[in-house]
Amino acid sequence: MLGIDFFCGAGGTTCGLLAAGIDIICGIDNDLSVQQTYEQNRRPDGSSCTFIHKGIQDVTTEDIASYLTGRGNMPLLFAACPPCQPFTNLKTDKAAQGDSAQLALHFLEQVRRHTPDYVLIENVPGIRHQKYGTVFNDLLEGLRDLRYEFDFRILNGRDFGVPQSRRRMILIASRLGMISLPQPTHGPHRTFPYEPAQVAFRFPAIAAGDCHPTIPNHRSSNLTDINLRRIQVAVVVTGMMQT
């Protein structure tokens, strides 16, 4: 399968898709500062993943078509992780986001132009909330009009082996027939236990607000006493639930 990663950033989604065996032709993003990092991703033939410095509004049909030459019958995936700030409950300035909530619909327009075989969309759970507008419903309606079958659900990364509790709305769509999201693999009474961060990364414990003197980027946010107590309670409750 071939893929194109829209809103690719530094390449987190590209890296995961490559690891899953999908050949990512290129990534597209309007942030030039991520290019050097993004191009460290390597395609199956060893070549660097191509970075296209463009906002999605400016991506033309010819831009995409030029990368699909010689594709043959290989299935094509369009992946998109649009900016989540317009849909998050965190204290972001929603007014300052401008029309960024509509960027997901610009992605839908790319899907409409090229009708890839598969579509993958990831965002925060809030994208589904009506208080942030009708973007998600518009996405679903657009996919229906294009005759995609799809499945979507809020998934937690820890249920699939990620050493972090990270809830995200995941949508996958197919023009080749029915499609469904995978079932969780990690957690109590499942194939594998949860993967704790201290085990996955083998980092030594540090206190809240500390920065490790020799391990780069190993730092912890400063937490208030009440938040520390909340975490302690959550750890105890989680342990009781797992037993």
What one-letter code names the amino acid at 122?
A: E
Instruction: Using CA atoms of 2, 27, 162, 74 in order, give the dihedral in degrees to the nearest 10.
Output: 0
The secondary structure of 166-198 as a DSSP string is -EEEEEEEESSS---PPPP-BSTTSSB----HH
Cα angle 206-212-218, degrees, rounded to a multiple of 5: 85
Active site residue 84: yes
Q: What is the C-alpha separation between 32 and 143, in angstroms, rounded?
A: 30
> Counting Cβ atoms within 10 Å, is residue 3 exposed (0-12), middle (13-18) or buried (19+)?
buried
Across 19-86, the runs of DSSP E, i.e. the strands, are 23-29, 50-53, 76-80
The catalytic residue positions are 84
